[in-house]
Amino acid sequence: MKGINPGLKAAVAIAAILLCIGTGDVLISVTVFLSMGAVTVLLGGLSIKKYLDLLKIPVAFLILGTAAIVVGISPVPAGHFYVPLPGFYLYLSEGGAALSAHLVLKAMASVSAMYMLVLSTPASEIINLLGKLHLPKLISELMNLIYRFIFVMMDVQSSMKQAAESRLGYHNFLTSCRSFGGIGANLFIVSLKKAGTYYDAMIARCYQGELVFLEENKPVKAKEAVVAAGYIAVLLLLWLV
């Protein structure tokens, strides 16, 4: 899916998210979640295992976030099910489980739409697309630099951790905490040095305050536009029906 126009993919993803959030329809959320997942796995070539692993990240936050909707605190027994604790009761609010399930489904459908975009589009193309949408250049350039610098720091941290493990730096909890703190302090110093080297490399390549990237021309094909429009039309039809 890398060859598809990034603007078209972004338009489909954003339209799907707006329909999920705006309509609040369960059928649309289920359709978006399953269809976007199928597109990412079948057309994008991502394995189901990796895709499910990526879905675990937002699920953990959603469970913690919706716990406040499902569980309530009361000085007296309330709800259909409650647990007595010293001085108060924990209870399951009426309709809270259904509401939280609806919110989780809506959020996961939106996440799957965003995954379709980010897992099939290089970061540089997304940043260039934001530039075409008149995002300030300073923000887009910072996004690109931070994105690339993350992987540099990950590689450095991995080397430091491997060196610490080879010296039994994680053989017990206390030593692990000490090694973790040492790696964090060293990583900060190394990051400053890496940032200086990165900037020198940019200056050597005639950097004059503006990052310029080679952008591949990917025109929207008629077939792709028809499929995208048909998909949005199906979602609208489901909502109307």
Q: Which domain holds residue 33?
A: 6-121+217-240
Strands 88-92 and 71-74, sheet pairing: antiparallel
pLDDT score recorded for residue 128: 84
Tokens for 199, please give them. Answer: 């900037």
87: which DSSP letter? T
How many domains are there within the chain?
Answer: 2
pLDDT tens for each residue of 143-197: 888 888 888 888 888 998 999 889 888 888 888 898 988 888 888 888 888 888 8
The verdict on residue 212 lying in a domain is: no
Indicate whether 134 and 95 sit together in one domain. no
The verdict on residue 134 lying in a domain is: yes
Distance CA 68, CA 194 (A): 43
pTM: 0.77
Q: Does the pLDDT at position 225 exceed 90?
A: yes
Give, in order, the Cα–Cα distances in Å from 196 to each of 11, 14, 67, 191, 230.
38, 37, 45, 9, 50
221: which DSSP letter? P
Among 1-10, 27-36, 77-86, 154-163, which stretch is predicted with the lowest mean pLDDT? 77-86
Among 89-93, 147-151, 183-187, 231-235, which stretch is predicted with the lowest mean pLDDT? 89-93
Indicate whether 233 and 159 sit together in one domain. no
Cα-Cα-Cα-Cα dihedral of 191, 197, 199, 205, to 10°? -150
pLDDT tens for each residue of 43-55: 988 899 999 999 9
Indicate whether 87 and 53 sit together in one domain. yes
Q: Does the pLDDT at position 113 exceed 90?
A: yes
Give residue for tokens 């021309």. Answer: 217
Mean pLDDT within 91-98: 71
Nearest to 93 by CA among 63, 64, 73: 73
Contacts of 126 (CB under 8 A, 6+ apart): 6, 10, 117, 118
Indicate whether 196 and 224 sit together in one domain. no
pLDDT score recorded for residue 79: 65
H helices present in the chain, as ranges: 6-23, 26-38, 48-70, 96-118, 123-132, 137-166, 173-204, 222-240
Q: Check: CB of residue 36 under 8 Å from CB of residue 113.
A: yes
Distance CA 157, CA 182 (A): 11
Helices and strands: H and E segment counts in the chain = 8, 3
Indicate whether 93 and 187 sit together in one domain. no
pLDDT tens for each residue of 157-170: 899 899 988 988 88
Give residue for tokens 């890398």. Answer: 2
Indicate whether 39 and 156 sit together in one domain. no
Tokens for 127, please give them. Answer: 């940043």
Type of residue at 162: Q
Indicate whether 137 and 180 sit together in one domain. yes
pLDDT score recorded for residue 36: 94
pLDDT score recorded for residue 50: 93
Distance CA 107, CA 203 (A): 43
Mean pLDDT within 6-11: 92
Sheet holding 82-85, edge to edge: 71-74, 88-92, 82-85
The verdict on residue 1 lying in a domain is: no
Q: Does the pLDDT at position 12 exceed 90?
A: yes
The verdict on residue 211 lying in a domain is: no
pLDDT score recorded for residue 88: 77
Indicate whether 113 and 152 sit together in one domain. no
The verdict on residue 142 lying in a domain is: yes
Distance CA 17, CA 166 (A): 47
Distance CA 105, CA 88 (A): 31
Better pLDDT: 90 or 237 = 237
The verdict on residue 210 lying in a domain is: no
User: Band of the pLDDT at 41, cuts 50, 70, 90?
Assistant: very high
Better pLDDT: 206 or 92 = 206
